[in-house]
C-alpha cells in the first residue's frame, strides 16, 4: 500500500517572494550604511576646524546696557546673557572722556584739546598709551592704531543709517555697531577670555565704538536695566 505524502502547496509568487527576501537581505548586507558616526566623547564640544587646523570663526552678539544714567555707566554683555564683561563710564565737560574697567585692568579714553581729532587710549595704572584713534572725516570715518601693531578702520555705513563698522587694513569686516548699543562680531578668531595679564583688544574696540557713538550723538541706548 502506497502512502502519499502531502506537500504544502506553494504558489510561484510566494516562491519568488521568498527568494527575493533572501536576495534583498544579502544585497543590503553588502551595501555600506551611510549613517553618520557620532564623534568620540573626547571630541565633543570642540570648535569646528577648517583646513590648516584653524578654528572656524564664530559670530557673537554683544550689547552695551545702560546701568547708571546719572554717570553714563554702561555694562557690556555677550549674547544677551552671562556676567558683565566690562564696564564703561563716559564723562567729560566739553571734551568727551571715558573709563573702561575690564578683567582687573583700567583704561582711559582721552580726547585731546578742542580742534584735535585724536582719542588716546591709555593704561590708567602706568599712563602708557595703548592705542590712538584719529578722525579722517569727523563722526564718519577714522583709524585706530595700536602701539604694538595693528590698524583698524572705523566708518559709518551710509549717510542715512546710523550703523558703523570696523574693518581691518584689508577691508575684512570685524564688528558692526548699532545705535542701540548692540555690536555684532563677524569672523573673529580673537579669544573672548584672554589670559591673565594680557590685554583684551576686542573689548577695547567694542568700548571705543560705543564711546564714539555716544560722544558724537549717534547712540540711542535703551532704557536703563536694573543692576542685579
Residues 59-114: pLDDT tens digits?
Answer: 789 999 999 999 899 999 987 666 889 999 999 877 889 999 998 999 999 988 66
Q: What is residue 147's three-state secondary structure? A: coil
Q: Which residues of the chain have pLDDT under 50?
A: 7-17, 20, 22-52, 54-56, 191, 193-198
Query: Is residue 222 a contact partner of residue 196, using CB atoms and an 8 Å limit?
Result: no
Q: Model pTM?
A: 0.69
d(CA 64, CA 48) in angstroms, rounded, equals 29
Give the burial class of 133: count Cβ atoms within 10 A of its Cβ; 0-12 exposed, 13-18 middle, 19 or more buried: buried
Length of the chain: 228
Q: Which helix (H) or strand (E) holds 20?
A: helix 12-30
C-alpha cell at 195: 589670559
Amino acid at each position: 500500500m502506497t502512502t502519499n505524502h502531502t506537500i504544502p502547496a506553494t504558489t510561484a509568487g510566494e516562491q519568488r517572494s521568498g527568494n527575493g527576501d533572501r536576495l534583498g537581505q544579502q544585497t543590503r548586507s553588502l551595501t555600506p550604511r551611510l549613517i553618520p558616526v557620532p564623534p568620540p566623547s573626547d571630541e565633543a564640544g570642540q570648535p569646528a576646524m577648517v583646513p590648516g587646523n584653524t578654528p572656524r570663526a564664530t559670530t557673537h552678539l554683544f550689547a552695551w546696557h545702560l546701568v547708571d544714567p546719572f554717570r553714563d555707566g554702561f555694562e557690556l554683555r555677550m549674547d544677551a546673557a552671562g556676567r558683565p564683561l566690562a564696564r564703561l563710564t563716559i564723562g567729560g565737560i566739553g571734551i568727551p572722556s571715558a573709563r573702561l574697567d575690564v578683567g582687573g585692568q583700567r583704561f582711559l579714553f582721552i580726547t585731546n584739546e578742542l580742534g584735535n581729532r585724536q582719542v588716546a587710549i591709555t593704561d590708567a595704572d602706568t599712563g602708557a598709551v595703548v592705542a590712538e584713534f584719529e578722525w579722517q572725516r569727523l563722526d564718519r570715518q577714522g583709524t585706530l592704531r595700536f602701539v604694538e601693531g595693528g590698524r583698524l578702520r572705523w566708518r559709518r555705513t551710509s549717510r542715512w543709517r546710523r550703523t558703523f563698522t570696523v574693518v581691518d587694513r584689508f577691508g575684512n569686516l570685524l564688528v558692526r555697531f548699532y545705535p542701540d548699543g548692540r555690536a555684532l562680531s563677524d569672523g573673529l578668531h580673537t579669544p573672548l577670555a584672554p589670559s591673565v595679564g594680557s590685554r583684551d583688544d576686542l573689548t577695547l574696540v567694542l568700548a571705543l565704538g560705543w564711546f564714539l557713538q555716544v560722544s558724537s550723538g549717534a547712540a540711542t541706548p535703551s532704557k536703563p536695566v536694573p543692576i542685579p
